[in-house]
Amino acid sequence: MPKFLVLYKWTLDEQDIKVKSDDLSLDASRAKGKISDFDRNAIEEAAAIVEKQGGSVEALSYGTPTVKQSLKDVLSRGVDKAYWIGDASAETADAAVTAKVLAAAIRKIGPYDFILTGEGSSDQFNQQTAPRLAALLGLPCLSFVHKLEVDGAKASVARKLADCTELATVTGPAVISVLSDINKPRIPGLKQVLGAAKKPSEEIALGSLGLAAEDLQPKASRRSVKGFVMTRKNVIYKDAPADAVAKLVSSLAGEGLI
Amino acid sequence: MSDDTFDAIVVGAGPAGSACAYTLAKEGRSVLLLDRGNSAGAKNVSGGRLYTYALELVEPGLYERAPLQRKIVREQIMLMNDRGATTVDYFDPGFGEAVPQSYSVIRAALDEWFAGEAEAQGAMVAPGVVVDGLIEENGRIVGIRTGEDEMRADVVVAADGVNSLLGQKAGLFPDVKASAVGVGVKETIELPDELISARFGVKEGEGAARVAIGCTEGISGGGFLYTNKGSISLGIVFNPEQAGRQTRHIQDIFQDYKMHPAIHALIEGGTSVEYGAHLVPEKGYHGIPKQLSRDGFVVVGDAAQFGINTGLIIRGMDLAIVSGLAAAKAIIAAKQPADVGTLYRQQLEELLLIANQQAYQNFHGIFEISRIFREYPALANDAMQFLFRVDGKKPKPMLKGLLDIVKRNVSFGKLLGDGWKIYRHI
């Protein structure tokens, strides 16, 4: 019976983040939290496999103290138990720090046969957490997975690469990062939502993981985040078609586009 | 209580549903509060005003915790024609002494807060759940269905809004009739908070509520405006039957309203950040279904068509909260689910909801006078123009001038008839 751990990130729902028109800064004051999109696929994949063939799914997240708000949602998605590390350091953590924290937590609560996570997070999409974590734990890492079959301790995966599909097998323990087309995450039903309230969750204090201060010091720091706006010229030629086309062509040529 | 049985399941986490769940949970009852939005209030577009007394009835001081916008100190009514507007402005900074009488609210924030309060009292809150139907056994409603799940309760409280599908499924009333509702369209327009205070002549934290008549192209209906923190809620409510017979689109009529010089000056420079449309109960007392309950089932709030529109004041949320409270009190007092319906009626009487509805029961008839929405606002503005005009020419005698203006807009026969009709309905 495979033992899964799914790593997820509690991100802001980008749908409610606004770009201010004056300085392109982001206004996230109305944005609510959500489980990062691809991580939701990872949770679904593990839950669906366990529902079909048995086993267990636990989940783990490292985030700011607001990560606690994610428990109800994650536990209503077929997860048996959720662990969370809520610490202000997550605000500035880079992928290296995140991987170190998660690795330390997994050493404490593990071992697991398969550690699943999304290919990248909805906000940063660094795509680094899975490979870094695998390196720290000394495990194989399979990324870009869009098909997963588990048979005991063995997993067969299809990896979706730029212009081909790679089939691979791995014997756990292993780290696997999944793409969004691997499945369609469930919308939890009422009983699953109510059942979530009765499932266990456990806080892991960052201080209990034996990490040194330098482990929590990000080497890459974010200077700013700004909205991206495509500036358009908004030129409309209203002349007779022949003239308008001629003007359009000369305009495009003038820009060096044709 | 077994795992799947609650004392009450409340469907809809608006003010009615949350007031009901809050009160039940506080009394230690097991209650499940469901909402189809991903969070309570997520599906709501009401931009409006909450009369504080209703929250005070639920629990004194509760309003102090609520995410309220501005305390309303200016009550304004604006009569518009296409060139200008005559506005009556009643300023009363002390309205409601110790507890301010009313606040503008943004329902998305208010509903989420209120559902959270109910949860803190011990109610089980499950957003993102669409209730598909009711479970009926031996003529009793015993629970709800959602997807593949069933959940049972002694009483199901339908707080599912003006177009209450559960009330219809329970057989209490038929589908909503176009004549019984208004369609509201609304935009939220963001502006700097200080600018709003300056434009409306209010202090920080204080605000204005305005109704506008004469902005609906003669369709029965009117405009509204509420000042919030950093935004203005602006919209019109209109009769859908009459609007359907119009050649002009409602969005164009709304656009004209926004661009009217008397409104545009208030919203200029703002950014529209939200828009939406919703139905509102319009018939007042006569719109309330004869039957508000069945064995194991009650309807509250908009679902029960509670609403008051006098032309000057528009009430819905306060009545919703009071009715939710009434249902909770009835459920608490009932020895068996079959008693809830009668006790609910009694509570609606005791909490004076019915008395409030009855006091304005015939007002709806006034809005059948079509001239209220075009000719009379025009008359008021013509009269004002006449009274304030100074151009060096020989002025008409005052009385004759005014009578001419009346005649130009409406015949004396109609004026008398309408006056009599209004007198009768008040």
**pLDDT 10s digits, A146-171:** 999 999 889 999 999 989 999 999 99
Query: What's the pLDDT tens digit per position in B142-184?
Result: 999 998 899 999 999 999 999 999 999 999 999 988 888 998 8
Query: Nearest-CA residue of chain A relative to B39?
Result: A32
Query: What's the pLDDT tens digit per position in A33-76?
Result: 999 999 999 999 999 999 999 999 999 999 999 999 999 999 99
Q: pLDDT at residue B42 above 80?
A: no
Please give the pLDDT value at position A157.
Answer: 96
* B63 three-state secondary structure: helix
Residue A222 inside a domain? The answer is no
Cross-chain CB nearest to B149 (options A18, A190, A197): A190
Query: What's the pLDDT tens digit per position in B316-355?
Result: 999 999 999 999 999 999 999 899 999 999 999 999 999 9
Cβ of B327 under 8 Å from any chain A Cβ?
Answer: no
A256 in the same domain as A146: no
**What's the sign of the alpha-carbon dihedral A119, A123, A128, A132?**
negative
A236 in the same domain as A115: no
Task: Please state the rounded mean pLDDT for residues A5-22.
Answer: 90
A244 in the same domain as A127: no
How many Å lie between the alpha carbon of B400 and the closest alpha carbon of chain A? Answer: 56
CATH code for residues B180-281: 3.30.9.90
**In chain B, what residues touch A197 (CB-CB under 8 Å)?**
124
Look-up of token digits 């963001």: B190
* B214 three-state secondary structure: coil
Cβ of B148 under 8 Å from any chain A Cβ?
Answer: yes
Residue A55 inside a domain? The answer is yes
Tell me whether 0.90 is exceeded by the ipTM: no
* B381 three-state secondary structure: helix
Cβ of A190 under 8 Å from any chain B Cβ?
Answer: yes
Task: Please state the rounded mean pLDDT for residues B264-276.
Answer: 92
- Amino acid B387 reads L
The structural architecture, per CATH, of the domain B5-71+97-178+283-360 is 3-Layer(bba) Sandwich (3.50)
The CA distance from B334 to B336, in Å, is: 5
CB B126 to CB A191 under 8 A?
Answer: no
> Which among B296, B284, B303, B291 has a CA at the least distance from the CA of B364?
B284
* Structural domain count of chain A: 2
A157 in the same domain as A55: yes
A257 in the same domain as A158: no
Rounded to 5 degrees, φ, ψ at B105 are: -140, 155
Q: pLDDT at residue A201 above 70?
A: yes
Please give the pLDDT value at position B3.
Answer: 59
Q: pLDDT at residue B96 above 70?
A: no
* A contact test, residue of B129, B131, B190, B274 with most A CBs within 10 A: B129
Rounded to 5 degrees, φ, ψ at B44 are: -95, 140
How many Å lie between the alpha carbon of B4 and the closest alpha carbon of chain A? Answer: 9
Look-up of token digits 């495509």: A230
A180 in the same domain as A74: yes
Task: Please state the rounded mean pLDDT for residues A96-122.
Answer: 96
A256 in the same domain as A138: no
% pLDDT > 70, chain B: 98
Range of the domain at A127: 3-216
The CA distance from B200 to B215, in Å, is: 20
The answer to whether the peptide bond before residue B261 is cis (omega within 30 degrees of 0) is: no
Give the up-direction half-sphere exposure of residue B341: CA atoms within 13 A in the CB hemisphere: 12
Cβ of B147 under 8 Å from any chain A Cβ?
Answer: yes
The tokens for B265 are 């000056």
User: What would you report as the CA-atom Rg of chain A, rounded to the nearest whole angstrom?
Assistant: 22
A107 in the same domain as A35: yes
Cβ of A187 under 8 Å from any chain B Cβ?
Answer: yes
The answer to whether the peptide bond before residue A173 is cis (omega within 30 degrees of 0) is: yes
Query: Nearest-CA residue of chain B relative to A16?
Result: B273
Locate the domains of chain B by residue range.
5-71+97-178+283-360, 180-281, 365-425
Q: pLDDT at residue B1 above 70?
A: no
A186 in the same domain as A141: yes
The tokens for B130 are 């669409």
A161 in the same domain as A42: yes
Residue A221 inside a domain? The answer is no
Domain pair B5-71+97-178+283-360 / B180-281, same fold:
no
In B, residues 343-372, which contact A (CB 8 Å cutoff)? Answer: none
A250 in the same domain as A139: no
> Which of the two residues, B10 and B95, has the higher pLDDT score?
B10
A51 in the same domain as A13: yes
Q: B146 with A189: CB under 8 angstroms? A: yes
pLDDT, averaged across chain B: 91
* B contact test, residue of A18, A190, A191, A198 with most B CBs within 10 A: A190
Please give the pLDDT value at position B247.
Answer: 83
Residue A223 inside a domain? The answer is no
Q: pLDDT at residue B4 above 80?
A: no
The CA distance from A10 to A34, in Å, is: 6
Query: Nearest-CA residue of chain B relative to A20?
Result: B271
DSSP state, B228? -
Task: Please state the rounded mean pLDDT for residues A243-256.
Answer: 90
Listed range (B216-225, B377-386, B412-421) with the worst mean pLDDT: B412-421
Cβ of B39 under 8 Å from any chain A Cβ?
Answer: yes
Q: pLDDT at residue B196 above 90?
A: yes
Q: pLDDT at residue A179 above 90?
A: yes
Q: pLDDT at residue B2 above 60?
A: no
CB burial of residue B222 (10 Å; 0-12, 13-18, 19+): buried
How many Å lie between the alpha carbon of B64 and the closest alpha carbon of chain A? Answer: 22
Q: Chain A to chain B, count of Cβ pairs less than 8 Å apart?
A: 28
CB A190 to CB B34 under 8 A?
Answer: yes
